[in-house]
């Protein structure tokens, strides 16, 4: 039997197996994974270090859209839209098991809305070019209600349907980490970078890092170091240049998860202009509906941001204006919040919706390359641009990027496949083999849920999951779908992980307690009581 390349022991051994890495990436979210995979595709010896779990932060908390950004088109940012639409097309080809074509409908309650949005979306289609997912079309009132059951019919004149992409963000991150490893790179979670190494001339030549599971410290040499830590880029920049001016202005986006009955059709609802000029989505996702998002400046970055009461009220109030059944706080099955690492505005504006979503790359005097901004859809291009920057600084020898046509781990065309294992793509065969070998793992985590015990074992063996949170938040996504259910199954998950990873009953109890505390932040009833 071939050795398992995803075992933590194997990955940790690789830290010291390489004397000098070509490329060392700090951060295991969308951006860092994109940078690492791009470097690996060019043949560089590449190491990625993540202080928590892959996609623990912003990269697991998106609105689940792979999109060009209709609202950026309205703002006149044609370049960003064109780039994002191109990258959207590549992503749907490279990860078809996780990314798919999704219909979105803009309802029209004004006499001028139909023509206005149809013209704008035709430009959106045109910018997508040969990677278009299908043309936008005008819909009558009857067609709109047929495709968006649950939409308020009163005053409705019609709608416009357009096509965009949808995906599972955290699972894509895990698959990207696996792809890095598949192609000879090293990607390690729970290994925190705590300082930078510089030579006598002040030039950066590596990092100090600690394996958070063992406490062992490492000094790791590298020719190029890229800071891709999202909302935490300024913390790493402080290691490099204490007192440096902050680069990122965090903005948080809140999402509410509702039962599918609120929007039972296959199409998503796009509200183009809310009371404060935002765009709002209600999107079918994994058998539920995700409602979001907000855009609220926050003073500091956090791994577990919390929703503000005004944001929750705004989402429920806006949804009530468009849905036949207005959702209430009691209907919210999970609430999750992500922080956008927006590159701070140069004009002094504090309005986060005015800050460009395009990415920014800069280098310091020591040679640290920092990348921030951007969004999931353009993660691949961000990775390519960051590595190009390192090449331009002569940290790395020139080599072409090969990620545009690089299939992501698990890539398989499961279009239209409703089977539960479809999101695993080509790994579904391995899961079935596991079930055949250990039939008891076919038991459900909870009688009312679709998730199996086999998925916990698979996550530990092949997807680098180390904690109950890793499994329930970012492998099977239950915390984001039904937080109360996730709390119920946590003891079962802890027991399965302990057996698989060699931990004792004390570890299990600590994991269940820690996860229960974490999950309180995803339960709206707790939010309303101030916890």
pLDDT per position as a tens digit, 207-257: 999 999 999 999 999 999 999 999 999 999 999 999 999 999 899 999 999
Picking from 492, 397, 502, the residue whose alpha carbon sits closest to that of residue 446 is 492
CA-CA distance, 160 to 118, in Å (whole number)? 6
Q: What is the pLDDT of residue 127?
A: 85
How many residues are present in the chain?
531
For CA atoms 210, 408, 30, 484, give the dihedral sign.
negative
Q: Secondary structure of 46-84 in the HEC alphabet?
A: EEEECCCCCCCCHHHCCCCEECCCHHHHHCCCHHHHHHH
Query: 324-380, pLDDT tens digit by residue?
Result: 999 999 999 999 999 998 876 554 444 444 344 578 999 999 999 999 998 999 999
Which residues, given as ranges, of the chain have pLDDT below 50?
347-356, 526-531
Residue 475: other Cβ atoms inside 10 A: 23
The predicted model scores a pTM of 0.95
Which residues, in sequence order, are CB contacts of 518 under 8 Å at separation 6+? 304, 469, 479
Strands 217-227 and 20-26: parallel
The pLDDT of residue 354: 39
Q: Which residues pair with 372 in a beta bridge?
A: 360
Nearest to 408 by CA among 383, 390, 388, 391: 383
Residue 236 in tokens: 């790493």
Which runs of E-coded beta strand occur in 272-409? 280-285, 288-292, 296-297, 334-343, 359-363, 369-373
Match 């100090």 to its residue by tokens: 208
Domain architecture of the chain: domains with CATH: 8-58+171-247+353-405 (3.50.50.60), 249-340 (3.30.9.10), 420-528 (1.10.8)
Q: Which two tokens stand for residue 62?
A: 């998106």
Sign of the torsion formed by the C-alpha atoms of 99, 103, 108 and 114: positive
- The dihedral sign for the CA sequence 289, 314, 150, 332: positive
Residue written as token pair 């892959």: 54
H or E segment to which residue 505 belongs: helix 505-519
Sign of CA dihedral 431, 91, 473, 329: negative
Distance between CA atoms of residues 182 and 87, nearest Å = 22
Cis ω for the linkage preceding 293 (within 30 of 0): yes
Alpha helices in 338-482 (DSSP H): 379-392, 428-437, 453-462, 468-474, 478-481
**Token pair in block for residue 221:** 């040499």
Whether 511 contacts 494, CB under 8 Å = yes
**299: its two tokens:** 């003073």
3-class DSSP state of 100: strand
What distance lies between CA 330 and its chain's CA centroid?
27
Residues 451-465 pLDDT 10s: 999 999 999 999 999
């Amino acid at each position: 039997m071939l050795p398992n390349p995803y075992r933590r022991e194997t990955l940790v051994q690789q830290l010291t197996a390489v004397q000098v890495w070509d490329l060392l990436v700090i951060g295991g979210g969308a951006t860092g994974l994109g940078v690492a995979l791009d470097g690996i595709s060019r043949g560089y010896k590449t190491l990625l270090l993540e202080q928590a779990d892959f996609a623990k932060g912003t990269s697991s908390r998106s609105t689940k859209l792979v999109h060009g950004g209709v609202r950026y088109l309205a703002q006149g940012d044609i370049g960003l839209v064109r780039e994002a639409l191109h990258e959207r097309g590549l992503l749907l080809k490279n990860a078809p098991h996780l990314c798919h074509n999704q219909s979105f409908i803009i309802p029209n309650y004004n006499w001028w809305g139909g023509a206005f949005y149809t013209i704008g979306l035709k430009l959106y289609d045109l910018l997508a070019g040969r990677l278009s997912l299908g043309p936008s079309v005008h819909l009558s009132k009857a067609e709109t209600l047929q495709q968006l059951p649950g939409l308020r019919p009163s005053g409705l004149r019609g709608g416009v349907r357009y096509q965009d992409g949808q995906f599972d963000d955290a699972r894509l991150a895990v698959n990207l980490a696996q792809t890095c490893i598949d192609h000879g790179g090293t990607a390690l979670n729970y290994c925190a970078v705590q300082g930078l190494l510089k030579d006598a001339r002040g030039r950066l030549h590596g990092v100090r890092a600690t394996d958070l599971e063992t406490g062992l410290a490492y000094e790791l040499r590298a020719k190029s170091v890229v800071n891709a830590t999202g909302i935490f880029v300024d913390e790493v920049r402080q290691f490099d240049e204490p007192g440096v001016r902050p680069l990122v202005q965090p903005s948080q986006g809140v999402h509410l998860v509702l039962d599918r009955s609120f929007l039972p059709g296959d199409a998503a609802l796009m509200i183009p202009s809310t009371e404060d000029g935002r765009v709002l989505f209600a999107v079918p996702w994994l058998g539920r509906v995700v409602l979001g998002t907000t855009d609220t400046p926050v003073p500091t970055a956090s791994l577990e941001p919390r929703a503000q009461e005004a944001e929750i009220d705004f989402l429920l109030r806006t949804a009530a204006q468009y849905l036949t059944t207005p959702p209430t706080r009691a209907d919210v099955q999970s609430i999750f919040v992500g922080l956008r690492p927006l590159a701070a505005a140069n004009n002094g504006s504090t309005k986060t919706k005015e800050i460009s979503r395009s990415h920014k790359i800069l280098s310091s005097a020591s040679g640290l390359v920092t990348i921030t901004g951007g969004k999931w859809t353009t993660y691949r291009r961000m990775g390519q641009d960051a590595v190009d920057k390192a090449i331009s600084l002569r940290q790395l020898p020139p080599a072409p990027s090969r990620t545009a046509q690089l299939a992501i781990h698990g890539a398989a065309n499961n279009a239209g496949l409703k089977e539960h294992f479809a999101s695993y793509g080509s790994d579904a065969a391995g899961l079935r083999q596991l079930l055949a070998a250990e039939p008891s793992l076919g038991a459900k985590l909870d009688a009312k849920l679709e998730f199996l015990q086999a998925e916990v074992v698979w996550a530990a063996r092949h997807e680098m999951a180390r904690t109950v949170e890793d499994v329930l938040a970012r492998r099977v996504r239950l915390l984001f779908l039904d937080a109360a259910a996730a709390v119920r199954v946590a003891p079962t998950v802890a027991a399965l992980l302990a057996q698989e990873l060699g931990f004792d009953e004390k570890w299990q109890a600590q994991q269940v307690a820690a996860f229960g505390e974490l999950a309180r932040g995803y339960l709206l009833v707790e939010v309303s009581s101030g916890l």
